[in-house]
Structure formats: structure tokens, C-alpha cells
Structure 1
């Protein structure tokens, strides 16, 4: 039977149709997580399809004058040092504005921006370019958090390579003290800003307007640096996987049921005894069945359902290629944006996963996500900061657990192939 239905390329969601070029300017003392927040925001917005780039002044400093600068270089009384730092910041600002003129959408100016005078200057420069500015401040006075951030992240930076950890910590604390002596927190009622207090204990929004700044608020509220594994796995082999069919709601094959047992053993072995593992599945039978050896009540999410193959649901790829050559050719040309007739594209999948990503960022316990190939590719792209257009080519084999552990600057990845080994035909979700 011939299915002569042509496909379409997916359109951007309404909020994305009009490009809204924006500057996000970080604010905060050293060791307060500014760079961590800036990179997370960039990763999130890029994943959603907004070209975003971070311009980190510390990186400019290390490239231009070297990494090993003593704490006194940053002292307010060191006029030469202050002038060098000012010039580097202006270079980074100029580069960001040039990038935005060339087609960038969101520029993140990652610097301490610790005085009202500096922030007014940044705002005026951006206003001359017709660009709105939203300041994002990470404000923290918790000594435990600051010390942990110093030792876990700052001492691993290029500034302190091959330096004794205790000596490096003392030097960096002196650097912080220099900045504290002139620091002024955000309090201008006329400025647009988001202030994050004590790593999300309180978040203050002031004059936040527009699609992108408003979209960032839920993410910033839930960001934290608590280490925990995120386990991504496809369901066990299904009847559709055996025959290379797309989509559907089949049950597990005998091999898939065997995988569910091995997955439960993996979780019991790798989760700490005092930690409760959050188990998330789609609403489809094969993911829920895969979770049954771990829990009888997983949290089910429609957002985790496999990409909707529309009129191609239940077909094999060979059938699509032979019976619907136009669909096959169009999808092959752009697998990321191509939308199945009466179905979805990868771009659509990312949009529906957006609220779930916020929930995932909120999790502090180990989380096991049992879902489907296209969905897990999209989540992996977010966590590993891969361009969204690469989603269709990311490897997510059957009967494999992908362990991603968030760190200050990304995610550490490990993969575990569990028995039984099955032939992965790349279909069936």
C-alpha cells in the first residue's frame, strides 16, 4: 500500500519566531558560581535553539597575561593591575557585541561586574547597540559553600596548576578579600536583574520582561551543584525492536524482560544505601515494564514518550524508504528538523522536554530515566552540551546504561553495556 503523504519541516514555537537578542551580564564575587551559572544558562538556551556564547573575562586574562597572577594583582590599590583587568573586560565586552551584531542571539558577559559604576557602563554600552541587559547575580555569604567552591573548582583552574592546595586556597581567599572590599550588590530598582541568594535559597526577580529572561527563572531557581548520577537507558528490547518497526506501544521481548532484571541489579549495586533512586519512565508499556524490577510505581511522563512517527508509526525503515520515498529523502536530508507527517521532529521533542529538564536539574538524588532513543538523545545533548542538530547521530544503544554525573563545568560520562546482548536495528524507539 502506498502512503503518499509528504512531510514538512518543523516550525519554531511561537516564542522563538522573533529573534530577541539579549545580553546577560553576570555579577558576583569569586567562588560564588558565576561561571557555573553562566555555562549552564548557555547550555540550556543553546539546546533550545538560541545561539548563545559565554565571554569569560578570566579566560581573556589567562590568554593575554598568563594564569599565575598573585592575589595582590587584583588589589584595588594596584592601579596597574586594575587597568589591565579593565582593558581585558572591555575587550571581552567588545567581542561579545561584535558577535551579537554578526547573528548571535544571547551573549553572556561573565565577569565580576562588582561595582555599580561598572554595571552602568556595561548597560550604557549595550543600550547604544539597542540591546537589553539582564544582570544575574550569585550572592552567597555561606562560608561552607564558599570553601567547598574554592577547593572543588577554583583550585583545579589553570590559575593554580602545580601549586600546593593549601597555599593556593590562601592565595585565592586573599583575592576574594580584595574584591569584597569594593563589592556592591544589585539593588537598583530600575535595572533588570535576577539575584540568586545562597545557591537558590532565595531568588529575586526585578523588572524581568520578555520571553527569554522569563524562561530562565525556573532554571535558575533549581540549579545546584550536588553530585548525583543521572542514568539514561532505553527500555529493554521490545517486539518492535526485534522486527525493526518504528514507534508503537509493544511489550518487551523475552530478552527485554531479562534486561530489566540486570538493570535492577545495576541500580542496587551503584546506588548508595541511604539514597532513594528516582525512577522516571514514559507512559508506554515497554518503559514501565523495564522499571518493574526496580519499583512498582515509577514516575511516568508523557514528555518522555518516543518521538511521534505520525503516519509512519509501526512501519519499518525499509517500508518508509520504498512506500514513501519523498518522506525518506526529506528526513534523510535533515533528520533534526524534519517532522514526520502528522508526527514530530527532534526539534519538537526538545520543546516538550523543556519542563522535564527543569525537573531533572532540581533532582538531588540519583535519577534513572528509562525512555526511548530520540528522547534520550535529546536529553543527552542537553547534559553533554552537544549542539541540538547532532541529536539524531548520538549513539544510545539498547541494553546500555549511560551514567552522567554533573560537575562544575559539565558532566562526567561512563557507559555500561548490560546483558543480554541484542541486535540493535535502530527502530522501535
Structure 2
């Protein structure tokens, strides 16, 4: 995948009373909540959902911009999460932030657990009665200190950084506390939308606890089911009072059992609230993998309009790819059982492909395994317009001004009668919502331009990096959703002819810094030249996850 440029100004300080940054007095938000801006400093294989967004570029699917940076005439909104631990609040928060940021809505998540850890220090514990309604005076003071700091950072971001949606991720267990919170936000001219994740399905509770929490050292070498039971008992002991949402005067949405049912109350206050509800009707918190793979090579690789069939090499690639993915999924299941996971059948695999003949024929290789293939017309590759079949030299000669514009902004620029990557992202929005709704493992077979956009959504890649993302044919890319961030993995396809790996010309010769290029993505960037043949060496799958493990480790023991 393409690498992100290093941040030129990584030191963010606290916001002073005059609205300026105080670099000598970093806030808890910058230390704890926003430290993940360093995560994808060197690789787009690390999910950037928690990165501090830069204001220089529009979001991938953003349709317009405003002076204030706020969209849809919706003002400022605080989405307040409600629910006990292991109910999927953080997962929902991250998923919702991903979708809103994709649309261009300035959204940031404020995890109260980050503030608690920053206040009590590394390895510190809150008092036993910290969550009790009748807590001791010292515990009440500690709780108020943590809450005050978190809310100050929310207001600072909304007021001084033109933020629009602040997601407040905490338990918020009592009705009185929620009413007070709504009144406080109203004083700051912030609309409040409560979102409760309510789970009474014991099987789902145990699965959530097992998937999210038992990585803690407290449960090391313990049977996963027993660890989940102990963890849920710990929640009952530490948070003895929880009142589900029933406040008629508040704006709230209640998700029951990870989207099985959805209730809402008083949420018709603006367009953005309706978009949030619409998104929540298409999401869930069940774990499943998404795989990305290129279509095989065709007999006529350079034509956009000719719907050419697979070449002989393309058929061979399709068979190798299908065998590799099938073996990988079976191996992952065996490893999960060996680690103490449940001995259950493989999760069903759904296959999506475009309506192009080469994609359909690539998917045919899975028929022997009994998988169904669904065609998606929106997943057709980017339209090159007048650039079809033209060499880069010819494009430079015929359209020098267009080439210059394209090099400045390869994401938004379109050649005559062509599509831009932004056009493609807007076209793919129904696919993104279907992707969120899908509960089976999902394999997407498409042209590299389509894979770039869908991968960018799931891994929060910026617009200037999307045209440079690389999907060589000798790799399957797997994305695994997790509560705090998504994880990515490369799965090598062994035995391919090295000439197959570079594959078809990038975007039918549209002169954009291509998959084989390490050129800059804006001013100074040049045309990507065809990559050299790759020497294929058999190697095991490489797992590429967030190496800044502290934040993820912290979430494992999070009781907020």
C-alpha cells in the first residue's frame, strides 16, 4: 500500500483561552485521546480513524465545503453513548465516526476511558466505589475532575477547531446524569443525541466480552467462556446501577442486541440526525472479515469499453487466488480453535464483483466451493474518458493543461468525459452501506480503482493518498473490524507468474501517480511509470496491525 507522508508539525498543544495552541501545556485530550495521530505516520496499513484530521483537503465523499467547516446546516451535535461495557459502544462510536468523516462531517471521538487513564496514570486503578452512586467524597471529586477535563476538550474542539460532531464514549448510566448532561450541552448551544447500545442476549454478551475484553492480562491462560463470565460479573459489581434510556424529553436512539431492533425518540431536529439514524439501520457489531482482490488479467487489458474475457493467465490466477483464500480461512479457523475458541463452522463467505466479464469470470473460481456471487453494477472501474488507450506521452501532448491539473489533485480532477476518484466514491456510497450491513465474511473482486476507494473507507485513508494505494495481484488484502480500529493483513498468493503481478496498466493509462510509483501525490508529482516485474517468493501471511499497542491494550481493561 502507499505510505503516508510524515507529519510536518506533530506537536499539538492545548487550546488557550484566546483560541491559540499552547504547545507548552498539552491537554489530556492531546496526550490521551489524540495521540493516535502518530499511528499511520508511516503506513496506510494502519487504520487512521483516530488520527487528527488535517483541514487542507476535503473528505473522500464530501460534496461541498463551507467557511465554518460544518455541513448540512446542522450546527454542532454531541452524540452521547450510553450502555454498560461489552455492549459495543466503542465499536459503534468508531463506525459512526468513520461514516461521518467519509461524508466530510468534522467528527471526533472522546473516549472517557482515555481521560481516566491519563488522570490516574499508567497502571493506576480508580477506587472500588468509583462507579457507585453513593461514592465516597474522594471518588466523587476524582470522577468530576475526569469528566470536567473531557468536556472542556469537547467544547474547545467544537468552539475553536470548528468541530461539528463530538462523540462522547462513556457509560452514562443514570437518567439524572443524562438530563444534566443535556442541559449542560444546551448552555453551550450544542444539540445532544443520546445513543444507547442495549444488549440482553446472553450469547451476544459473552461473544462481545470474549472478542473485546479477555485479551487483558487478568484473563491470561483462562478458558475464553469462563473469562467472559467473570468479566460480566465484574461489570455488575463495579457498576451496580444502570438505568436504560426512557427519558421522553431527550433525543435518543436505542439499539437493541446490536441492531436487532432500533427505537428512537425526538430525533427529527436536523438532516444530519436522520443520516445518523439511516446509517445505524445499516450497521451491526458482529465481527467479520472483508477481503479485497483484483480481477484476473483479460485478453484486452487496455480497453475500458471492450468487456474482454479473462486471458489464459487470468484463469490460472483466479484458480490460485480462490484456493489460497479458502486455505487461509480454514487455517484461521483451526488456529482459533487451538487458542480455545469455539469449534463452530466457518462463517459463510459472500462474494461481490462488478458486472465486467473479467470480474465475473474471476469469481467463477469459487463455484467449486459452493459460494454464491452477487454482481454490483456500481463497482465498475473508474471511467478514463478520452484517455482510453492513449499512452502517457500522447496524453501529455494532447491535454497538457489537464495533466497539470491532475498532478495537483489526482483525486478530484477528471479528464474530459472521464470520472474522478471523487465521482467514484459518490457512486460507491450504496455499496459502502451494504458493506456495513453485511454480516458474512465478504470478498470483493474489482478493478484496482474500486478497491482503492473501498479500502480507503475502511482504513480512513486521506484523499491525496487514495490514487497511490497498491493492490498487486499476488496479494489478497484482509480487513478485520475491531472495536477500537480496523486491522489489515496481507495474504500472499503463491505460484503466480511474475509477469502477472504488475497486471494491467493503471487506470487505463490515466496519468496518475500509480501503484508502482513512490512519487509525491501533490505539487511536484509526476506520472507513474509501469512497475518492474516482481520476483515472487512464497511467504506466510503478514499481519499488519497498530504497533502502538498501548492504546489498544488500554481498551482491553476499559471499564468506561
Q: Distance in 1 between matches of 2:193 and 2:280?
A: 13
Following the alignment from structure 2 to structure 1, what is the Cα–Cα distance between the partners of residues 62 and 482? 31
Alpha-carbon displacement from aligned partner over 1:333-390 (angstroms, at most 9, x marks no partner): 1122223333332222222222212222222222111011121111112222333443
Work out whether residues 246 and 316 of structure 1, in 8 Å CA contact, stay in contact via their aligned partners in 2.
Answer: no
The match for 2:421 is 346
In the TM superposition, what are the counterparts of 1:349-368 in structure 2 within 5 Å? Answer: 349-368=424-443
1:75 is aligned to: 132
On the 8 A contact 1:71/1:171 being kept in 2, the answer is no
What is the rounded CA distance, in whole Å, between the counterparts of 1:388 and 1:106 in structure 2?
21
Q: Given the alignment of the two structures, is residue 106 of structure 1 paired with residue 174 of structure 2, yes or no?
A: no
Task: Return 355-364 or 281-290, whichever deviates more.
Answer: 355-364
Equivalent of residue 394 in structure 1, options 469, 481, 485:
469
| Alignment CA distance shift 1:214-1:19 (3 Å) | same
The answer as to whether partners of 1:42 and 1:52 remain within 8 angstroms in 2 is yes
Question: Mapping of 1:18-417 within 5 angstroms?
Answer: 18=72, 20=74, 21-66=76-121, 67-69=123-125, 71-79=128-136, 80-101=138-159, 102-156=161-215, 170=230, 173-181=233-241, 183-209=242-268, 210-239=270-299, 241=301, 249-271=307-329, 275-295=347-367, 298-417=373-492
CA contact (8 A) 2:351 2:444 kept: yes
Higher relative contact order (CA 8 A, sep 6+): 1
Aligned match of 1:426: 506
Q: Which runs of 5+ in 1 are unaligned?
A: 1-9
Q: Deviations over 1:143-166 (max 9, x none)?
A: 333333233323436xx5787867
The alignment partner of 1:368 has SS state of strand
What is the alpha-carbon distance in structure 1 between the residues aligned to residue 355 and residue 172 of structure 2? Answer: 47
SS in 1 for 2:133: coil
Residue 519 of structure 2 corresponds to which residue in structure 1? none
Q: Is the 8 A contact 1:45 1:52 kept in 2?
A: yes
Which runs of no fewer than 5 residues in structure 2 stay unpaired? 1-59, 331-344, 510-560
Structure 1 distance, partners of 2:232, 2:349, is: 37
Distance 1:92 1:239, change over 3 A: farther
Rounded to whole Å, the distance in 2 between the matches of 1:44 and 1:215 is 10
Residues 387 and 508 in structure 2, CA contact (< 8 A), matched pair in contact too: no
Shift of 1:167: 8.4
Query: Deviation of residue 172 (structure 1)?
Result: 6.5
How many residue pairs match? The answer is: 415
Q: Distance in 2 between matches of 1:60 and 1:53?
A: 15
The correspondence for 2:63, drawn from 13, 18, 36, is 13
Length-normalised TM-score, structure 1: 0.86
Q: TM-score, structure 2 length as denominator?
A: 0.67
Aligned to 1:4: none
